[in-house]
Copies of this chain bind each other. A is one copy, B any other.
Amino acid sequence: MNEVVNCAAYSKGHRTANVELAEVHEVLKDANQFVWIGLHEPSEDILNQVQLEFGLHDLAVEDAQNAHQRPKAELYGDTLFVVLRTAQMNKEHHIEFGETHFFVGANFIVTIRHGSSVSYANVRTRCESTPHLLSKGQGFALYAVMDFIVDQYFPVIDELEEELQEIEDEVFKEKPSRATTEHIYQLKRELLEVKRAISPLIDISSRLMRFDIKCISEDTQPYFRDIYDHVIRINEVVDNTRELLNTALEANFSLISISQSDVSKKFAGWAAIIAVPTMIAGFYGMNFRFMPELDWRYGYPVVVGFTISICIIVYYFFRRSGWL
């Protein structure tokens, strides 16, 4: 894929021209236009060019080069630098995280995708199809991509909630197993990762919707409140799932104990049923000279019958008290 995915100028919500990166400063002279550049894992060269065109701060560009930033929004002079983490489920039902960086200035926006993530071409197309909204400027473009990124978290948390559902089934319907415990642990790990990716967005979107940032027009602010709202909801689901998961872990533990107790009870019951005839047999195995029963004609069958009866009684006794 190309490093420079897209580079176009917009005026009053309409795409006016595709621009070469090197000519961007020409376009910027016209204050009624803004430039929207989409980069994908750009090389240092490209980034330096971008830095030159827009006069970006060294530290921000350094961050943009290295992925593995935490989500944040920083102002360098009048330029806003935003880092977001993207998430999507891959085919093996694991979460893949990526990173997207934004530079938003007086009349430009640059998006930089790192790692696994969907292209933002569709977002751009959708924006271009609603010129009355895109005419709000680069702030709206920022909103559109952020909204797209946040919305991709919803299938992810749906998947996590389903996994919790599976764990509940394992805990309450199946026998306690090592696999369940490990499953709980892995889900916890994933929840923490999603939490880390999404929770800084509460602060970021609330700042974008509240504070006075020159490069974002005032009538775009309600849109960031919309993102704020989605983020809060995702965050809530994550917290909720986490709390239920903790309870499931403890419930699992209780059930392991109960099932261990059941093992003991079953063992005790069967041990009794075997021990009683062994004891009786032992008695008639004694070598006393004078043991009248031994000489009885029906001594043997009577004792055997008696023993079996006792075993049956013991069996029903344990049955009734729920041990067997």
Contacts and interface: CB of A to CB of B under 8 A. Distances in A.
Given A74-B222, A168-B185, A188-B243, 13 more contacts: A59-B223, A70-B229, A181-B258, A184-B247, A196-B240, A250-B253, A263-B268, A267-B271, A271-B271, A271-B275, A281-B282, A281-B283, A288-B303
A274 B277 contact: no
Contacts of A76: 222
Contact of A253 (B196, B254, B289): B254
B300 A181 contact: no
Interface of A: 57, 59, 69-70, 72, 74, 76, 168, 172, 175-178, 181-182, 184-185, 188-189, 192, 196, 222-223, 225-226, 229, 232-233, 236, 240, 243-244, 247-261, 263-268, 270-272, 274-279, 281-291, 293-300, 303-304, 322-323
Given A233-B70, A295-B289, A249 B249 contact: no
Q: Which 3 residue pairs of A and B lie closest in terms of their CB atoms, listed nearest first? A: A281-B282, A284-B286, A267-B268
Give this chain's copy count: 5
Given A59-B223, A172-B182, A285 B289 contact: no
A236 B72 CA distance: 14
Contacts of A268: 263, 266-267, 270
Contacts of A168: 185
Contacts of A250: 249-250, 253
A291 B268 CA distance: 31
